[in-house]
A = this chain, B = another copy of it.
Amino acid sequence: MRRPTLEAVATRAGVSKSTVSRVVNGEPTVASDIRDLVMRAVNDLGYTPNPAARSLVTRRTDSIAVIVSDPSSGLVSDDPMFSTVVRAASREFEAAGKQVVLMLAGSDDARVRARQFVAARHVDAVMLVSMHGADPLPAALAATGVPLVSHGRPAFRLDVPWVDNDNTGGAAQAVRHLLERGRRRIATISGPLDMSAAQDRIGAYREVLSETGRRSIVAIGDFTRISGAEAMAQLLEDDPALDAVFAANDLMAIGAMRALRRAGRRVPDDVAVVGYDDIEAALYTDPPLTTVRSPMGEQAAASARLLLGLLRGEPASPVILPTQLVVRESS
C-alpha cells in the first residue's frame, strides 16, 4: 500500500516523468491541455511529491531551524518572549513557504545535537535566539557555513547579522524619565551580565546616572519574576532609602513590585518602578507598569526576513529597532 509516485502519475496521464515534474513544479513550458491531463491524474491518485527525494536532488530542505539557546528553559516555562518570538518568526517563515524546525538548546547535550543537526544540512538556514556570552553554539553554527541570523546582538563579536532593539537608548529613556520625575536614588535590577541586552541596559543606566553625578545601586537578576523579587529585596536591604528602580525587563519589574508590596512600600509613592519590554502583563499590574516598549515580535519578524533575504543572496547587516517609553502609573 505505497503512495503514488511521479512515475505512476506519468503512466496514468500517458506522459513522461519529466512532464509531470514540470507540471508539479509549475514550470510554464507545458501546453495547457497536457497540464490539465496531468493535474487530473495527480488528483485521481492523490499524489504528493516525496520531500526526501526532492531534497536529495535539489539540496534544499525548505526548512529553517529556530534554535532557542536558553539555559534556563527549565525555569521560566512561561516566558512571554519565547512565545512572542517563536510565533512571530514562524509566521514569517511559513508565509515564505519554509518549515520551522524548533530546537531548544538548553543543555550541552542539546547544543551538540543542534550543531550536528545543522551540520548535516537538515535545514537551509538558522535563526538563533537569546544567547549567553559563554555559549559556544553561535560560533559553532557559523562555522558550518549555513546561513545564520541572530535575534539579538551576540554577546561576543561574531560575523553574524543580527536584529536588536535599541537597548541603550531605551534604558537611557527609562532612567531619564525617573530623573525627570524627581527621583534621586535610582536602583537597577540587571539581567545576566553575559547577555548583550543586559550589558547595554545597565551600561545606559550607569551612563545616565554618572552624567548627573548620581551613584548606581545594582542588583543582578536573570530576567525571571522570582529573580526580580529577590533582587528587589536585596536592593531594599542595601539602600532602604531608594526611591526608584529600573528593572531590565518587565518580568523582573513584576517580581520587584511584589517584593515592594511585601516590604510595605507603595508604588509609585515610595518607590517608582520602570520595566522594559512592555509585555502584555505590564498593563495588568497594580499599578500598571511604566515600561520601555521593545518591539519583540517585530524584532523576530525582522530577523526572519533578514534570514530569508540572506537565502536569496541579498546582503545582510545588523538592524536596530527603535524603542519607546510608555508611561503608566508605576512611576
Contact = CB atoms under 8 A, between A and B. Distances in A.
Contact of A104 (B3, B51, B87, B281): B87
Interface stretch (A118-126, A153-161, A189-197): A118-126
B258 A284 contact: yes
A82 B281 CA distance: 15
Interface in A81-129: 82-84, 86-88, 90-91, 94, 99-104, 106, 110, 113, 116-117, 119-122
A83, A91, A258, most chain B CB atoms within 10 A: A83
A307 interface: no
Interface of A: 3, 48-53, 55-56, 61, 63, 66, 73, 76-80, 82-84, 86-88, 90-91, 94, 99-104, 106, 110, 113, 116-117, 119-122, 225, 254-255, 257-258, 261, 279-281, 283-284, 286, 297
Contacts of A73: 87, 91
B78 A119 contact: no
Contact of A280 (B78, B94, B283): B78
Number of copies: 2
B3 A121 contact: yes
A50 B94 contact: no
Contacts of A120: 48-51
In the A-B complex, the 10 residue pairs with the smallest Cβ-Cβ separation, listed nearest first, are A78-B80, A52-B55, A52-B56, A48-B120, A83-B83, A102-B102, A77-B84, A82-B83, A100-B102, A52-B52
A265 to B, nearest CB: 13
A48 B281 contact: no
Contact of A101 (B48, B63, B79, B280): B63
A255 B281 contact: no
Contacts of A121: 3, 48, 50-51
A1 to B, nearest CB: 9
Contacts of A261: 286
A106 B87 CA distance: 11
